[in-house]
A and B are shown apart, each in its own frame.
Chain A
Amino acid sequence: MNKHVQSIAVPLIAVAIFLAFWEWLVWVNGWPTFKMAAPSDLPPAYARHWDLFLTMGWQTLWRTILGLLLAVIFGTLLGMIMGFSRIMRDALYPLLVGFNAIPKATVVPIVALMFVGQHDFNTVLLAFMISFFPIAVSVSIGLSTLEPEYRDILRSLGASQATIFWKIALPKTLPEFFGALKVAVTLAFIGTNLMEIVSPHGRGLGALFDSGRTNSDFPLMFAVLIALAFLGIVLYYIVVALEKIFAGWAERSPG
């Protein structure tokens, strides 16, 4: 078996074994579909609700992406403020850590009550709130740990702070930024879904999941989970592709 075939075949076989085990588990226990779903129940679930999956999936996706974009903008700005100013770092860091320590599930009802009915806004807000933290922290650490020699090289030539930022500090922080963005993608999905599930008369895949839950429709619930996983994987690899383009230099060939 050559390397190329192996790199595709091995993961495929692993997935097949996993699905077979799952199917067997449901079959051997004789669980009905209102107790547990088997992989073979999923294609019918998709077939029955495919139009819902498309519209709801799109809603979940655009809200997550919008929340993530806001998190990138706000997180980067916050990270820059904390990275460049010692005083601002001392002032903002405890606030940030405290805010991040609050389990976001408890924020959901508050946000849902405060902006009742504004479902899109709520969802985007939560996706943003849950995902800006790692970005802010990584950008601030990347900027504040810049070796002084890097600054000196340009400063000794009379370069301005802005030039130093664009030419050195920003590109040097990109690997850390993308590392954080990979974490943030997953977190933003959690945020979107928390709101979609909890908020009444919601939309998106989270709401679809919730309607499956109220009907004990396990095939639908699992179909939603797998659709969510699919979206998550797609977004994750988009970030990986962006990372290759903008911070590919940080990747070292082994050896």
Chain B
Amino acid sequence: MENLIEIKGVRHAYKTDAGPLPVLDGLEIAVPEGGFVAVVGPSGCGKSTLTRLIAGLMKPDHGEVWLHGERVKGPRSTVGMAFQNPVLLEWRSILKNVLLPLEIVPSKLSKKEAEDRARFLLSLVGLEGFEDKRPSELSGGMRQRASLCRALIHQPEVLILDEPFGALDAFTREDLWQTMHKVKEREPFTGVLITHDLRESIFLADQVVVLSGRPAKTQYVLNVPRTRTPTLDDLYTPEAAEQLNILRHQIQVAQGRTTEDAA
């Protein structure tokens, strides 16, 4: 199977006053088309750097990032991004916010078609009737839903989610997890999710990559077998408990809290 995203031997260091600060060292990630990878790891291990590399906002010092058989050398319009901060533009309506990427990316859609698509996406995430509201009139969870629609409006091949649910309360978060599955069924994409939440990672992703502490390398990859769309109940099965246990253990190794070898 061809991999849509391929990260090969990526090393990267930030320049600081105290000399180079290596954040990524030997990163290997491969995501097949339509796959959904979650990246977990100790905080400050370079997870956000990873998203910027995939989006082409940064170039790695060494190694290669490939998207759809092409080496990433700069930003590309086939990527959609959503962050922990929904960064909606306060002076635009929700609908106009969702349409923003189409003002940058060349699109075949007419104005009418684009609006219809935005309305469709908003209804898909449960924001029907909020098209003309301002972001300040929406709750945190709703803003995040709108931000998701904006990331998808130009039909990106790759959706990069950098802790998009991190600032939400537990119930809203679980709601959004289910929304994500619903969206993915209707609007297929290849996903990269950065998260701190292990339950979120096994609920959403089919592959969970554990990064080691800084400088980060791929420490462990857990495959989450999927036969159907999971429900929240699936998080309380023995299999889920087993997966979470493995991930928890790997994170502890990554944090250096246990001396046992990761392998």
Pick from A150, A152, A154, A174: contact of B104, CB below 8 A. Answer: A154
Pick from B87, B90, B105: contact of A158, CB below 8 A. Answer: B105
Q: Which residues of B contact A155 (CB under 8 A)?
A: 57, 75
Separation of A231 and B24 alpha carbons in the complex (Å): 62
Separation of A159 and B101 alpha carbons in the complex (Å): 9
Q: Main secondary structure on chain B at its contact with chain A?
A: loop
A249 close to B91 (CB less than 8 A):
yes
Number of A residues whose C-beta is below 8 Å from B? 21
Q: Which residues of B contact A149 (CB under 8 A)?
A: 83, 85, 87
B75 close to A249 (CB less than 8 A):
no
Closest to A171 in B: B91
A171 close to B79 (CB less than 8 A):
no
Q: Check if A6 is an interface residue, CB within 8 A of chain B.
A: no
Pick from B79, B83, B89: contact of A168, CB below 8 A. Answer: B89
B134 close to A158 (CB less than 8 A):
no
Q: How far is the CB of A90 from chain B (nearest CB, A)?
A: 16
A152 close to B105 (CB less than 8 A):
no
A150 close to B87 (CB less than 8 A):
yes
Pick from B75, B89, B91, B136: contact of A156, CB below 8 A. Answer: B75
Q: Check if B179 is an interface residue, CB within 8 A of chain A.
A: no
Q: Check if A167 is an interface residue, CB within 8 A of chain B.
A: yes
Task: Render B61-91 as a binary contact track against A, CB cut-off 8 A, 1 for contact.
Answer: 0000000000000111101010101010111
Closest to B55 in A: A156
Separation of A157 and B56 alpha carbons in the complex (Å): 9
Separation of A249 and B97 alpha carbons in the complex (Å): 14
Separation of A147 and B162 alpha carbons in the complex (Å): 15
Q: Check if A15 is an interface residue, CB within 8 A of chain B.
A: no
Closest to B151 in A: A153
Closest to B136 in A: A252
Task: Render B19-52 as a binary contact track against A, CB cut-off 8 A, 1 for contact.
Answer: 0000000000000000000000000000000001
Q: Which residues of B contact A168 (CB under 8 A)?
A: 89
Q: Which residues of A contact B56 (CB under 8 A)?
A: 156
Q: Main secondary structure on chain A at its contact with chain B?
A: helix
Q: Check if B143 is an interface residue, CB within 8 A of chain A.
A: no
Separation of A248 and B38 alpha carbons in the complex (Å): 40
Q: How far is the CB of B189 from chain A (nearest CB, A)?
A: 15
A156 close to B105 (CB less than 8 A):
no
Instruction: Give the size range of B's interface with the partner.
Output: 20 to 34
Separation of A150 and B147 alpha carbons in the complex (Å): 12
Q: Check if A250 is an interface residue, CB within 8 A of chain B.
A: yes
B90 close to A153 (CB less than 8 A):
no
Q: How far is the CB of A235 from chain B (nearest CB, A)?
A: 25
Pick from A158, A247, A250: contact of B77, CB below 8 A. Answer: A158
Q: How far is the CB of B108 from chain A (nearest CB, A)?
A: 16
Identify which of B77, B104, B105 gathers the most chain A CB atoms within 10 Å of its CB: B104
Task: Render A174-191 as a binary contact track against B, CB cut-off 8 A, 1 for contact.
Answer: 100000000000000000
Q: Which residues of A contact B77 (CB under 8 A)?
A: 157-158
Q: Which residues of B contact A171 (CB under 8 A)?
A: 89, 91
Closest to B84 in A: A149
B104 close to A163 (CB less than 8 A):
yes
Q: How far is the CB of A126 from chain B (nearest CB, A)?
A: 35
Q: Check if B100 is an interface residue, CB within 8 A of chain A.
A: yes
Q: How far is the CB of A148 from chain B (nearest CB, A)?
A: 9
B79 close to A156 (CB less than 8 A):
yes
B74 close to A158 (CB less than 8 A):
yes
Q: Check if B12 is an interface residue, CB within 8 A of chain A.
A: no
Separation of A149 and B51 alpha carbons in the complex (Å): 12
Closest 5 interchain pairs by CB? A249-B91, A156-B55, A157-B104, A149-B87, A158-B75
Residue pairs across A and B with Cβ atoms less than 8 A apart, 24 shown, are A149-B85, A149-B87, A152-B52, A152-B57, A152-B83, A154-B100, A155-B75, A156-B56, A156-B79, A157-B75, A157-B77, A157-B79, A157-B101, A157-B104, A157-B105, A157-B154, A171-B91, A172-B91, A174-B91, A249-B90, A249-B91, A249-B134, A250-B90, A250-B91
B contacts, CB < 8 Å to A: 52, 55-57, 74-77, 79, 81, 83, 85, 87, 89-91, 100-101, 103-105, 134, 136, 150, 154
